[in-house]
Structure 1
Amino acid sequence: MCRWRAWWKGLPFLAVLIAAAIVFARAPIEQTLATRADALLLSIGESWAHARFDGRDAIIEGEALSEEARVKVRAEMAQMFGVGRVDDRTTLLPERRPFTFAAIRDGSKLHLEGYVPSSYARRRIVEAASQMTPGVIVTGAKELVRARGVPAGDFIGMVVFGIQQLARMPAGRITLSDDSFSIEGRAPDFAAYDELEVTVRTDLPVDFKLARFAVLPPVVSPFVWSATREGDGVTLAGYIPLGDARRALLDLVRAAVPGAAISDQLRLADGSPPADGWLKAVGFALSQLGRLPDGKVSLSGTTVAIDGKAPDFAAYDTLAGARRSLPEGYTLTRFAVEPPTVAPFVWGVLRGGNGLRLTGYAPSEDAKRLVLDAIKAGFPGVKLSDEMRIAAGGPPAEAWVNATVFGVGQLAKLRTGALRGNGAALSLSGEALDSAAYTTVQAASTVPPPGGFVLERDVRPPIVSPYVFGLRLDADGLTVSGFYPTPEEHEKLVAAARADLLGVPVNDVSAVAQGAPAGFAVAAQAALMELARLSVGEARFDDAKLRFSGTALYAGAVEQIRSNLTRALPPNFTLELALDVVVRPAATDTATCQKAIDDVLARGTVSFLDGGAAIAPASRGLLDHIAAAAVGCSDAVVEISVRQPGTDDALATERARAVTAYLVEAGISPERLVTGAPAAIAQSRPEGATEAGLQVIVR
């Protein structure tokens, strides 16, 4: 019999057993299914989704990037073994257009901002950012927003690539906008800049394009640039500013040197002067290079330099003139353009009535300027015509300047004249300003010019009119004044004065000058010989007029002097004579008379013409003074004797008689004069003069 009442009592315990079995067996099953679901979602590339289980029923959650991803996840989960029903609770992420991402570096800080397609992408990006540079601080990771719209391709790889480029700059920024990549910043050096440019332009991940490369090159100082022309080519070196300067520069080169092969070795760099002004300065420099077949132009900051050799004077003059037309803000610090070579290398500084004229060549602009400064200092206010050109082939610049300045200093002492040079030879010619200037120039010309130059001179004394010259004899001696035509004639006259005037002191205040009338030297010598016959007197020339005045030693000398001067003066001279006669002295004793005669003979001696007995005209003054002394002892007998070594007694006697006859004409009574035997008197004469001796004894 069924004991149903007893069975019913066991139902509650059975229910408890069943419930316990269900509770304790469900959790392991759900965990197993969840683990298998995560592995599946990861394997199919949909890690954004997450599955949890209620028993064997799957509940899918997460933010999908697309509806296709949601469908794919649902289908895959429904096919997974052990899964019952699938409950899709996923949602779609908000779509962002454009899909942007940025990483900004400032030293040790790196800030992230923008959108990421998934948490996985965020995690990978943050890991890459943290490894960029030791000690880097990454900010903004939590603020990265997951969104739909990520471009096709390896978005994470593109971001990591950009962060790796940021590692090469102390500061910068990368930006992704859909599939466009941009990078900006400043490279620390040229090596980093080159690496960045090559990497970004050639190694960009597939499916992405470079929208902007705005990495600045290093700042350089000074900002240098150069263009060198050799043959048919132009080599560009140095730096070029940012922007479109390169294209404009190449156009300038082609315009300045048409057809030239251009070697562009320029580097992009920062730190240039303003680009517009820089291009103008480059254009100016290149236009000068176009005139130099072999040359170089360069810029350093705002300074310009030009080097080369001008092919002709037209090119050199244009280049030299261009120095005054530099672009505003730029200066020319070097102009080393070698001028054309000339042979012979000649130059001149010519002084005339209308001023100064410079001709020929100078070795350099600086050398010419120094000479011009010397000319302006030596000729203040004088009109200057500069026709001098710059050329090569001459003396060294310093030697040329020193020699020319020396010559200009001498030219300043000339009224008219010329300084000329040819190689290492100088010539100075012209008329001196005055006699003092002439003497100074003559003295300076005895010393060789500086710099190894040889000097030839043809400097004439000044021309004076009227031409005056004076010989004045008084108690103090002879004063020579006025002008003489040549130093040689002057020396002869002064030497004759010392001899003919019996050694009287000579005060010479005369000066050399041109303008003397023809025969001046003969007239001056004649006047000097007759002046020696006076006690006091003066011979004054005014051009070709001689005024002869003074006091004769005896009456008969007046007409003799007139006759001698009339005969000796050249035909173009006129004579004006104004002579009186010295007062006859009081009688003296024999001893006083002898002493006076001895004093005269102590200062000179008589000479004869051509080795004969004729008295030389230069001895008239000596004999006149002896006659004047003998007059003082009118009662004494005067014995005359002459001895000349190398002659016989007959000639000596004949000469003594000639002296006696001269004294008779001078007014000494013949009864008082005795021609004696030769006396043993030997007096030295200057070298070249006739040696003779005269003895006068008063008894």
Structure 2
Amino acid sequence: MCQPRKWWIGLLPLLALWLLLNRAETNRIERELAGLADTALAQVAGEPGFSVAAGRDVSLNGWVFDEATRAAALAAAASAPGVRRVEDGLSEPPAENPYLWRASRDGDVVILSGATPSPDARASIAEAAREALPRARIIDQTSYFSGAPKNFPALAQAALLVLAHLSAGEAQLRDGQLSLSGHAANIEEHLAALAQARQLPDGMGLAKAELLPPETATFSFVAENDGKSLSLEGYIGSEAERSGLLAEARKLFPDLALNDQLKIFSGAPARSAVTAAYALRALAQLKSGAVTLQGDVASLAGQARAGMDALSVAEAIGVAPGMTLDAKAVTPGDAPADVMAAEKTETALILTGFYGDDDTHEKVLATAREKFAGLAVTDNMRRGARAPKAYLTAALDGLEQLARLHVGKFTLRDRAASLSGDAGRAELAEEVKTGFIAAMPEGYSVETGVTGAARETPPPAPAAVVAPVAAPDGQACQKKLTDVVRATPIRFDYRRAELKREASAVVEALAAAASQCPAVAFEVAGHSDDFIHDWRNLNLSRRRAEAVAAALVAAGIDPHRLTPVDRLSERAKNDGVEFNTK
């Protein structure tokens, strides 16, 4: 039996189709609403989101970079057509610690990478890169992270300005600390990069700056002294080496204007600064001229300083390991004003001028230290051209006579010798003048200007009594005599009281010192050892004191100022004398 069909069964396919179409329409509307929300977010925040709609309700998702942007994005999404309600699913980008940003350059390609805090910051940095490097292709690979240091865009832009002067290199910001590295294409760009690095904004710490100059295969250095200025040209390996070389130049040539044309190039030999300094020292031996450095060979040309020639210039500079000096183009200097000069003051002997060889120099110094014991000897002599005939004889004899003066000066010029100064007393002045004239070698012209006061005369009465002397004057005078005998003690042979020949210079120095304080009387105390403490040692010490006093009287000192006394000593056998004010 046939069952009647239900009428509604035929409607099922239509219902399914209607549900399908309705679902599709709902999905379309939801996608449109989500798209409108994303568009609103992009317009406000600068970045699209990934919003989700459920019916007319929208969940707004994505990154916002401040609270003002968040409020504006939610309001814009809510005002989109068809949106009923907006749920806040926005958040800040994740934090980055340390906060790192990089800009690397290789020729005309610049890559930005690392963290950036916002679309505005990202855009401003990319624009700064295009302005600083207009011919470069800018590739921006940065990502959003929060936690950027203060003024991050300004710091990144300043780093790009340095990178613009490098042909290859990198600028890196790490929590506001900048590191720079790379090479410049030429010296001008290298100097510009260094200058730009010095202009970094406040608050940017420069952690590292390895801005290298361009490389060159051939290094050279030239220094020229024209008598008014010193010009430096060529290459040097680094800014530190350049500063050191300029300091050396100012020390060697203090009176010349400095014209610095040095260029910094990387790849310099390890010893480039050392060899350049050696070349400068060589040039300092010339009155004017130039030195050229090629590798380890320094070629010197010009006129030597007064009294010097090519040989003495080379010897004055000395030998530097690995260096070769070519001085064949050096011409002799002018005749010096003084071949040698020795000036004696109350406290020092100053030697200036020239010597011909090291042996002569050593003999002059040895004589100076022996004859002027107790004085500071300052040696300002330099190696010079060949000395005049009999130079050493004249120099040593002149120093011996100068030592007898209280103060004075001895000079040699060619074959002319002169001696001037104060002998302290007239008799000694005549002896020194006579001795100086007789000592000078044959063929030397001699000039003397030695003076001295008249011989001291005893007071009228009583002969054995000296008027009291103010303590300060007496102490100062005693100190002068004590300094003389301490510097050059008067020594005696064992158990003898006779003065040795070499004691004459000390006696003259004592007499000169005593003549400066004519109102002061002294005890002259002779010493002997106390090994045998009896009358024989006391007698020996008195005889030594009397011998010194007699020598001082012969040198012009008033005998009534001197009282010989005996004194035993625990210091050393054969000790000399001491002076004490009365």
When normalised by structure 1's length, the TM-score is 0.40
- Which structure has more relative contact order (CA 8 Å, sep 6+)? It is 2
When normalised by structure 2's length, the TM-score is 0.47
Largest Rg, 1 or 2: 1
